[in-house]
Amino acid sequence: MGTAISIETRSPVDLDRVFAWLRHVDATFSTFRPDSAISRGDHSDPDVGQVLARCAELRDETQGAFDGDPMGYVKGWAAERAARMIDADCYVNAGGDVRVKGRWRVGIQHPLERGKTAAVLELRDAGVATSGTYERGSHIRGARPDILSVTVVGPDLGTADAYATAAFIRGPEWTPQLRGYEAMTILEDGTVLETRGFADLRIP
């Protein structure tokens, strides 16, 4: 998947099965591995079919702003599945995208100042994904140049990740339409725009 995944739990848990499954995901979906199922065009694995179907749905939901690339969805999907496999409160961090089970505080990186948070959220059983130019530069084709970062919070991390990517193209005018998900957009002039429910997640 091209990213490191770390897991913290509040009680002792055997994570071998979880990490074995994550290695399977990498072996199946990594575009950096010529022997992976996705690189070979092998769609016989049920997980591949599930991911491709959801990517197609998200492309339609976002009117093409999320282009349906599985690599833009798999990281969040894998972290979501990993959290659901763990029978304990947990904090799963997949390259900065986070899925929590139980109640946790999650810091959102400031897009301009390393080491500073743009917001600290208190979440319960939720995922939070951030797309930002500070991560990989302007890596989203068609991204609005006035947007520095978009953070999306909701019940499914893979979906939140896809929505965060799409919002870079469709803008903060689109995010209030997301059902069950809240968003924060930071513009290049420092303006912070939030959906109505996002403020309720903030820790003052």
Instruction: Give percent above pLDDT 70 in the chain.
Output: 96
Confidence (pLDDT) at 143: 82
Least trusted range by pLDDT, from 10-19, 69-78, 158-167, 173-182: 69-78
Mean pLDDT within 37-42 = 86
Nearest-angstrom CA–CA distance, 135 and 130: 9
Given the structure tokens 């998200």, which residue do they identify? 58
DSSP readout, 67-80?
A: ---GGGTHHHHHHH
Sign of the four-CA dihedral 144, 191, 126, 175: negative
- Is residue 184 a contact partner of residue 151, using CB atoms and an 8 Å limit? yes
Farthest-apart Cα atoms in the chain, separation: 49
Q: Which of 3, 149, 167 is nearest to 76 (CA)?
A: 3
User: How many Å apart are CA 65 and CA 169, to the nearest integer?
Assistant: 6
Q: For residues 166 and 66, give the distance between their C-alpha atoms in angstroms, rounded to a whole number.
A: 5
Phi–psi pair at 75, nearest 5 degrees: -60, -50
With cut-offs at 50, 70 and 90, classify the pLDDT of residue 139.
Answer: low
Residue 2 binned pLDDT confidence (cut-offs 50, 70, 90): low
Give me the pLDDT at residue 135, please. 57
- Tens-digit pLDDT profile for residues 97-110: 999 999 999 999 99
The radius of gyration computed from the CA coordinates of the chain, to the nearest angstrom, equals 17
Tens digits of per-residue pLDDT, 58-90? 999 999 999 888 888 999 999 999 999 999 999
- 148 pLDDT more than 60: yes
Total length of the chain: 204
17 backbone dihedrals φ, ψ, rounded to 5° = -65, -35
167, 176 contact by CB (below 8 A): no
Instruction: Write down the pTM of the prediction.
Output: 0.93
- What's the mean pLDDT in 113-120? 91
Residues 32-44 have a mean pLDDT of: 85
Say whether pLDDT at 186 is over 50: yes
Determine the distance from the C-alpha atom of residue 102 to the mean position of all C-alpha atoms in its chain, rounded to a whole number: 18
Is the model's pLDDT at 123 over the cut of 70?
yes
User: Does the structure show a pLDDT above 90 at 180?
Assistant: yes
Average pLDDT over residues 104-126: 94
3-class DSSP state of 53: helix
What gap in Å lies between CA 92 and CA 9, rounded to an integer?
9
**What pLDDT does 137 receive?**
47
CB 118 within 8 A of CB 109: yes
pLDDT on residue 147: 94
- Has residue 113 got a pLDDT over 90? no
